[in-house]
Amino acid sequence: MEHIINFKGADYYMTKILIPYYSSYGHIYTMVKAAAEGAESVEGVEVKIVRVEEFDAVKQAMSSQDAYVQAQEAQKDVPVATHDDLRWADGFVWGIPTRYGSMPAQLKQYIDSAGGLWMNGELEGKATGIVTSTGSIHGGQETTAITSLIPMLHFGMIYVGLPYGENTEQMTADGIGGSPYSASTVAGPDGSKQPDERDLIMARSLGKRVATVSKKLKA
């Protein structure tokens, strides 16, 4: 109706959390699903998980590995991430496994190709958090989280960490994930470990925290 000029649909009032991730062997996929549960537990929040597309060269190189093939099969129905997904979102949880101590090129390519959004400031003021993983305990979880933060700050996002007060699970010397910088997990040098229940608790907590902050920023 023409005279209701300020009408906004119910969708407008939802806080939208996007979870873009890349996962070769499924550990990050498991972790981002836990982050999604946490985000969804906040009232008025809608969550979308999207996978960043694999490179053909990597597909070819890894096609002889059963663990890789099975993990890719399990993710085949997850929608592929687009730039419109970034526009849609009010906040983000990124699923970023470690490659040589930093972000995989697949995710960097997704972020680098979003330069138009950067130029228009379209992601400024949106909350963001990171879920990461490594093969070994000291393989670079903190470096991946901190170096991934740099492009996010260029986009003007507001970083959400994982404080010790809310996440006592990280106060341990056990070989699990979790730090003030990100929720995380250790896959094992051969990828045979699965996320510890405490890793999943921290991933849920981060998802909830990002959703809560995003909702407040939107309000």
Ligand X SMILES: Cc1cc2nc3c(=O)[nH]c(=O)nc-3n(C[C@H](O)[C@H](O)[C@H](O)COP(=O)(O)O)c2cc1C
CB-CB contact of 148 with 113 (8 Å) = no
> Nearest approach, Cβ of 151 to ligand X (angstroms)?
19
- CA separation for the pair 56, 207 (Å, rounded): 31
148 binds ligand X (CB under 6 A): no
175 binds ligand X (CB under 6 A): no
What are the start-end ranges of the H helices in 170-218? 197-218
Residue entry with tokens 């379209």: 122
Cβ nearer to ligand X, comparing 136 with 168: 136
Which residue number has the CB closest to ligand X? 139
Cβ nearer to ligand X, comparing 40 with 142: 142
Site string for ligand X, 151-170 (x = CB under 6 A): --------------------
> Nearest approach, Cβ of 81 to ligand X (angstroms)?
15
25 binds ligand X (CB under 6 A): yes
> Nearest approach, Cβ of 1 to ligand X (angstroms)?
49
| Number of helical (H) and strand (E) elements in the chain, helices listed first | 9, 6
Cβ nearer to ligand X, comparing 51 with 126: 51
99 binds ligand X (CB under 6 A): yes
Please list every residue from 103 through 142 that binds ligand X, using CB under 6 A.
133-136, 139-140
Cβ nearer to ligand X, comparing 90 with 199: 199
b/e 48-70 (16+ beta carbons within 10 angstroms → b): bbbbbebeeeeeeebeeeeebee
- CA separation for the pair 159, 13 (Å, rounded): 23
Please select the residue that binds ligand X; options are 15, 17, 20, 23, rule is CB under 6 A: 23
Question: CB within 8 A of 144, min separation 6: which ones?
Answer: 96, 97, 98, 101, 102, 103, 130, 132, 134, 182
Three-state DSSP state, 27: helix
Residues that bind ligand X (CB under 6 A): 23-28, 97-101, 133-136, 139-140, 187, 191
